[in-house]
Chain A
Amino acid sequence: MTVRSSVLALLRQGPRYGARIKADFEQATGGAWTLNVGQVYTTLGRLERDGLVAGETRAPAPDRGARTTRGTVSPASPDRPDSGDVTVTYRLTEQGAAEADGWWTTPVDRETPARDELVIKLALAISTPGVDPYAVITTQRTATMRHLRELTRRKLALDPTTPGGTAPSTSADRLVLEHQLFTVEAELRWLDHVEAVLSHAPRERKHDEHPDT
């Protein structure tokens, strides 16, 4: 879904061929997520099938043989790979443009919770005899806090006002890193909250390590 919408959004800026879509996507997201070319072409193939994009094949240059960059959706080509260039440029159809515009006005779906190992682990820790949930929380908090410090260091390295920092403050790298920072902070706050709730809960089971007050 994300790849599909991203591809549409990039094509909304103008026609592009597959490798360019991959490069533009990675640049816009600060290199935090890579997209393999096969994935791009699979997506383009589906979008073409659904009538949202249209591919336009450019003839190979006469002195070079044909080489498809269309990847998996390219029909078996009579031309051998590496023997030339057939570049397929994709553009949005009217319907595709409407869908691309609609993405910006539609909120991202948060209704379906992602399966999170930590949530599952803590839920099981609380209900499993012999497991100390406080120890699980403490171990996780230390690790998450370290990760947060590492992210902070990376962010400071991007800040042009700190020595060695380079990128402008609105760069994609920074945007992505700050999202991670806020997410990690939320996890720490949640861990604190779970710990507080546990310590106020009636004693359903023994927590020998944890003092009562």
Chain B
Amino acid sequence: MSTPTPEVVLRLTDVHRVHGSGETAVRALDGVSLDLCAGELVAVMGPSGSGKSTLLNLAGALDLPTSGTVEIEGVSTTSLRPADLAALRRRKVGVVFQDLNLIPSLTAAENIALPLELDGQRVSETRRQALAALDELGLKLLADRYPDQMSGGQQQRVAIARALVGERRLVLADEPTGALDSVTGEGVLTVLRQRCDAGAAGLLVTHEARFAGWADRVVYLRDGRVVDSTEPAGMPRSARSAS
């Protein structure tokens, strides 16, 4: 599943994030370090308020750490001016939320092409890339459908295609299966897993252990700290509970 010499796409080094100050300060993240390599899908689990959303926001450069560094493809998010940060987000990071991912007035292909168009690419070229992205996921027939003409599972799969269009390799998925039934949810996970097997890096926040089971590694957060992490795939396994 992982490449022989894994390339780090996302690196968090001793990341702290404190909201507020003084007595009301909340430590949302408290010294988290994490590497996410190309070809790898990592699941993040933990109770509400454990720091999962903060972690995702920092990984997507939507928020900056109070201390420590977040590097996306080797570029530290704290080193950039706001305009460059926005460009980094647009070019390198795709995000999939629980719902409302697609713009209702645009077709599937147009939705996928949008980030490329915003980046100044020619429309014919963005359309070509969008169709290729859909084709790779076996969703070509959906190209000209609007979101309200697609099922929830189809919309999520299109959202994953958009998250990884162009040169983007990092997909951050925040409960992408949350609103779906278990079989449809598996269809979404299948697509996410396929994209990671094809070289993308995925960070999946989920509260459903069954879906976390699709990841190469599972990180548990509690009170802003990593309290538990299963080993990367491919490494020797220690004794496993059989029953």
Q: How many A-B residue pairs have CB under 8 A?
A: 56
B240 adjacent to A150 (CB under 8 Å)? yes
Cα separation A31 to B184 with both chains bound (whole Å): 27
Contacts known (A138-B227, A211-B223); A145 close to B47, Cβ less than 8 A = no
B209 adjacent to A196 (CB under 8 Å)? no
Closest approach, in angstroms, between the C-beta of B58 and any C-beta of chain A? 20
A149 adjacent to B230 (CB under 8 Å)? yes
The reply on B70 being an interface residue by CB < 8 A is no
By secondary structure, the B interface counts as: loop
**Chain B contact patch, size range:** 20 to 34
The reply on B228 being an interface residue by CB < 8 A is yes
Collect the chain A residues with CB atoms within 8 Å of residue B228's CB. Answer: 138, 141-142
Closest approach, in angstroms, between the C-beta of A114 and any C-beta of chain B? 12
The reply on B218 being an interface residue by CB < 8 A is yes
B209 adjacent to A145 (CB under 8 Å)? yes
Closest approach, in angstroms, between the C-beta of B25 and any C-beta of chain A? 11
Contacts known (A143-B241, A192-B47); A148 close to B223, Cβ less than 8 A = no
**Binary A-proximity of B218-242 (CB < 8 A = 1, otherwise 0):** 1010110001101000000101111
Collect the chain B residues with CB atoms within 8 Å of residue A196's CB. Answer: 47
Contacts known (A142-B228, A161-B190, A196-B47); A184 close to B209, Cβ less than 8 A = yes
Contacts known (A145-B218, A146-B240, A149-B215); A182 close to B230, Cβ less than 8 A = no
The reply on B122 being an interface residue by CB < 8 A is no
The 3 closest A-B pairs by CB, nearest first: A152-B213, A143-B241, A188-B209
Can you give 23 contacting A-B residue pairs, CB < 8 Å?
A138-B220, A138-B228, A141-B220, A141-B228, A142-B230, A143-B239, A144-B241, A145-B209, A145-B213, A145-B218, A146-B237, A147-B242, A149-B214, A149-B215, A151-B213, A152-B210, A152-B214, A161-B190, A162-B190, A181-B213, A188-B209, A189-B209, A192-B47
9 further A-B contacts with Cβ under 8 Å, apart from A148-B213, A196-B47, are A140-B241, A141-B220, A148-B212, A149-B213, A152-B210, A184-B209, A185-B209, A189-B209, A211-B223
